[in-house]
């Protein structure tokens, strides 16, 4: 593999949910570009495989155990890091169902992680960024924050909130050295997708994988590394004039609007 340009050397980055899927790819990419990466996960052991790979490649990494939905847990996590230049709010969970199929408990569960979890990252992270002289925030939203998809009521609500929080923070801190953007992926091939297919379509995983891939105009799912490359760009000085933007990385799904 060709060595990455060290655009993020001497930067301290924190990634929520960095132990698997898109978060893992982001952690590996930022570390590969020279950042000291902190992976924040509910269970620290879930992030250790990612941390091991970063260390094996000569990168610097710390693992923190914290619950993004819990205020005290997140306060303690941010208090424990020495400085912060790059914040990636990635942690999130999914839910399938229309408003009729979404119970109050379902809504609360999605809100706690996908909305309140991002709030906690921003609430404690912005203060840390200001203390470090500024920096960049990238929130992982979804194309569903812009495009209606069937049976994604609660999930769509939560990702719409991520988009609007992005805009608000970008506006409030544009003159204080903080840039805030979000990325809006469509379907990305992660272990979650494989687990979903195995649970719901046993024996038909390949058939359904092909169907889900073909549903995107470009004819395939995205790869976590593709999202990570966009996040790394938005964290870098090459994106110094970009804030308050929501970047679609969706294989053309937005074209169907």
Residues designated catalytic: 155
| SS3 at position 167 | helix
Pairing, β 246-249 against β 178-185: parallel
CA 256 and chain centroid, separation: 24
The end-to-end CA distance of the chain, in Å, is 38
Cα gap 86→99, rounded to integer Å: 36
HEC letters along 148-196? CCCCEHHHHHHHHHHHHHHHHHHHHHCCCCEEEEEEEECCECCHHHHHH
DSSP 8-state class, residue 225: H
DSSP 8-state class, residue 60: E
Query: Does the CA dihedral 63-65-67-72 come out positive or negative?
Result: negative
Q: Is residue 49 a contact partner of residue 19, using CB atoms and an 8 Å limit?
A: yes
Q: How many CA atoms lie within 13 A of 1 on its CB side?
A: 6
Nearest to 187, CA basis, from 247, 249, 110: 249
């Amino acid at each position: 593999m060709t060595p990455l340009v060290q655009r993020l050397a001497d930067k301290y980055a924190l990634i929520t949910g960095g132990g698997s899927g898109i978060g893992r790819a982001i952690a590996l990419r930022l570390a590969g570009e020279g950042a000291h990466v902190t992976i924040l996960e509910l269970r620290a052991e879930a992030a250790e495989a990612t941390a091991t790979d970063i260390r094996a490649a000569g990168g610097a990494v710390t693992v923190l155990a914290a619950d993004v939905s819990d205020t005290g847990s997140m306060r303690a996590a941010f208090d424990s890091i020495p400085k912060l230049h790059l914040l990636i709010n990635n942690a999130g969970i999914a839910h399938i169902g229309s408003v009729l199929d979404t119970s109050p408990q379902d809504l609360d569960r999605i809100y706690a992680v996908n909305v309140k979890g991002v709030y906690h990252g921003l609430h404690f992270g912005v203060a840390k960024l200001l203390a470090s002289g500024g920096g960049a925030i990238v929130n992982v939203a979804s194309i569903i924050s812009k495009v209606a998809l069937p049976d994604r009521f609660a999930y769509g609500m939560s990702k719409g909130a991520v988009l609007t929080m992005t805009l608000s923070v970008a506006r409030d801190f544009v003159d204080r050295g903080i840039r805030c953007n979000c990325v809006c992926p469509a379907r990305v091939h992660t272990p979650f997708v494989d687990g979903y297919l195995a649970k719901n379509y046993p024996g038909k995983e390949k058939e359904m994988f092909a169907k889900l891939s073909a549903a995107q105009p470009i004819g395939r799912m995205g790869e976590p590394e593709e999202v990570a490359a966009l996040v790394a760009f938005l964290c870098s000085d090459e994106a110094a004039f970009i804030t308050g933007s929501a970047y679609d990385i969706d294989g053309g799904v937005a074209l169907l609007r």
